[in-house]
Amino acid sequence: MSAQTQLPTQEIAARGRVLYEQSLRELVDTPQNQGQFLSLDILSGDYEIGSSHVQTTLRLRERHPDPVITTLRIGYRATFTRNGRMTPEK
């Protein structure tokens, strides 16, 4: 059983948010990264940034055989939206 299946989705997201706020936000929250996806392996702390959620996740999986990944959108409160409108964090 993989590490990912042992953790509830909410726990993965919460750990990812803490890692992002404590270690990554200052590095990656720049004007050129606004709106980009950041996929983060909460076990290694490794991450990928890009315009596609699928591509950032696949790139992490290439480097880590059993990652526990959460994804967020830099500069926004939500990663995805149903109504087509995103609310910036700032």
Dump pLDDT digits (tens) for 39-81: 999 999 999 999 999 999 999 999 998 999 999 999 877 776 6
pLDDT-based confidence at residue 90 (cuts at 50, 70, 90): low
Residue 85 lies in a domain: no
Q: Is the dihedral of CA 40, 4, 1, 45 positive or negative?
A: positive
Which residue segment(s) compose the domain that 65 sits in? 3-73
Task: Determine contact, residues 42/51, Cβ cutoff 8 Å.
Answer: no
Q: Tokens for 32?
A: 């050129």
Looking at the structure of the chain, the number of domains it has is: 1
Residue 10 lies in a domain: yes
Tally Cβ neighbours within 10 Å of residue 39. Answer: 26
